[in-house]
Amino acid sequence: MTEKNRKGCLIVAGLGPGSPDLMAPRARKALEEAEVVLGYSTYVDLVRDCLNPESEILSSAMMQEIDRCRKALDLAEAGRRVVLVCGGDPGIYAMAGLVFELAAQKGEGCAVPIEVIPGIAALNACAAVLGAPLMHDFAAVSLSDLMTPWDLIERRLEAAALADFVLVLYNPKSKRRTGQIARAREILLAHRSGTTPVGIVSAASRAHESLHLATLETMLAEEIGMQTTVIIGNSQTFIHAGRMITPRGYSGKYGL
């Protein structure tokens, strides 16, 4: 056991979108060397194959993020080498922020080294399967109003629509939240054509990946759920041969 191990540390590791060959080797190595692995059970199950058989595994249900992150910090403070796993990228709508917030609350006494291993986020993976929708300026907005006032979310949607950003919508819908995606579409339609391409991707890179190309007009007819990411094109985005493409501007500048 090295000096670093004895001191304890917390690594917040991104697993990428789900396919093992899209997880960074740095995350895999962290998992192999972990003394304790914590995570939402779905993500822990994704990486069981690369866990050290001697690691302690603490998987938990969704919606227990605060307990999980606090536990991860406590174990690291107690001298363990801890890896907290997140789907996608820990830094985009995942656990990295909460870990640092809880560490900040513990104050100067919390001297645990915290490392974030970035991952391929849903927005990266969904864009790749759609073609190239994020090739120009874009905004990412979560439609979950569980912790963010809906007014602020609407203000962001409005701003992104007005300034012709490509828009990536996270958490578009859940069993209890069904109206937000319809309202988001209304806001976009006030500024953008009904024929604007919309890409709807669920479970990118996993066995049950699904992928639909729609338009602002038709998008609500597609199945949208908890695991779905919705990408709405800007005024220049087009569909060609089944791919969603936002031009960067080469054509206007160089005539291609």
Size of the site for a copy of itself (CB under 8 A): 84
Closer of 180 and 246 to a copy of itself (Cβ): 246
Nearer to a copy of itself, 57 or 129 (CB): 129
Q: Which of 7, 71, 136, 177 binds a copy of itself (CB under 8 A)?
A: 136
Give yes or no for residue 102 binding a copy of itself (CB under 8 A).
Answer: yes
By the rule CB under 8 A, 232 interacts with a copy of itself: no
Per CB under 8 A, the list member of 73, 85, 98, 232 interacting with a copy of itself is 98
Q: Cα–Cα distance between 108 and 113 in angstroms, integer?
A: 12
Query: Which member of 33, 56, 65, 74 binds a copy of itself (CB under 8 A)?
Result: 65
Residues of this chain, 144-173, that bind a copy of itself according to CB under 8 A: 146-148, 152-153, 155-156, 158-160, 162-165
Kindly state whether residue 21 participates in binding a copy of itself, applying the rule CB under 8 A: yes
Q: Contact between 72 and a copy of itself (CB under 8 A)?
A: no
